[in-house]
Amino acid sequence: MKALRITAMLLGAMLATSAMAQTAPATQKKVKDHRTQPEVFFLQEGDVANSLELLPPPPDMASVQFLYDKARYDWGKAQRKTERGEQAFQDARVGGDGVPRAFSEAFGIDITADGTPEIYKLVVGMREDAGDLATRDAKNYYNRVRPFAFFEEMTCNPEQQEELSTNGSYPSGHTSIGWATALVLSEINPDRIDEILDRGFQMGESRVICGYHFQSDVDAGRVVAAGAVARLHADEGFNKQLDKAKKEFARLQKEGKVKPGKKNHAIHN
């Protein structure tokens, strides 16, 4: 009888535990967008186009497209011990003031928190809309192995390899940041559109040089970047900050603090 009572008590405890597990609230999904990090997001999850639905799958390893990825990977390795390779190394730093600094020369004036606060806030504020939200769905679904891991070789900066190995290669978030930033800065300073877009394009190619991404990752990154910028233009907070940035730029240009660009020379010659 004693054994039966113990068995009944254990069974009751098990049933109670099971009931509690079924009624306990589900673990809340961690939010990572404007609601939790407004300094680097204007948008919320679900606002941008779904990259998984927008993009085709990454190239199959038996495809001609993958052969092109391999050829571009080999091209990138050949650039690493050159001046262009050094630029690629620097382009990997998109945190903090990395993106404003990368575009300053092309934009025609240093983009800094003190000297151009409104432009700086705009550039930093849209960073993860392009780099994270625009790429998140496809990255998580495909979880594509990065080229340095696939070929079991070093990158241009081994210190970043462990971190990069934790997320997918397709599409490239750094490329999306660079191209989205270039599109927006070109709107603010159309006189230097050639320089600005070229700089944004090169930020994507830098990912190939470093071995962080395949060329197809980079190409896809530019597609989702364009979609992110289109969506940003429908966001009230972004538009307000863009207007502030344009007014700040107009003042700086009037004060003669902005270097003229190719378009400016063409108009006045």
Nearest 5°: phi and psi at 107? -75, -25
Is residue 1 in a domain?
Answer: no
Which among 121, 116, 130 is positioned nearest to 237, based on CA atoms?
Answer: 121
Is residue 24 in a domain?
Answer: no
Structure tokens at 110: 């240093």
Q: What pLDDT, on a 0 to 100 scale, did the predictor assign at position 262?
A: 77
**What is the CATH classification number for the domain harbouring 164?**
1.20.144.10
Provide the annotated active-site residues: 174, 207, 213, 217
Average pLDDT per 10 consecutive residues for the chain, totaling 269 residues:
44 43 55 96 97 98 97 97 95 91 98 98 98 97 96 88 84 98 98 98 97 98 98 98 98 97 57
Count of beta carbons in the 10 Å neighbourhood of residue 202: 18
Query: How much is the pTM?
Result: 0.86
Is residue 111 in a domain?
Answer: yes
Is residue 228 in a domain?
Answer: yes
Is residue 97 in a domain?
Answer: yes
Is residue 20 in a domain?
Answer: no
The pLDDT tens digits for 132-185 are 999 999 999 999 999 999 999 999 988 777 778 778 999 999 999 999 999 999
Q: Number of structural domains, the chain? A: 1
Is residue 213 in a domain?
Answer: yes
| Radius of gyration of the chain from its Cα atoms, rounded to whole angstroms | 24
Structural domain including 128 reads 31-268
Is residue 25 in a domain?
Answer: no
Q: What pLDDT, on a 0 to 100 scale, did the predictor assign at position 267?
A: 44
Sign of CA dihedral 171, 161, 45, 117: negative
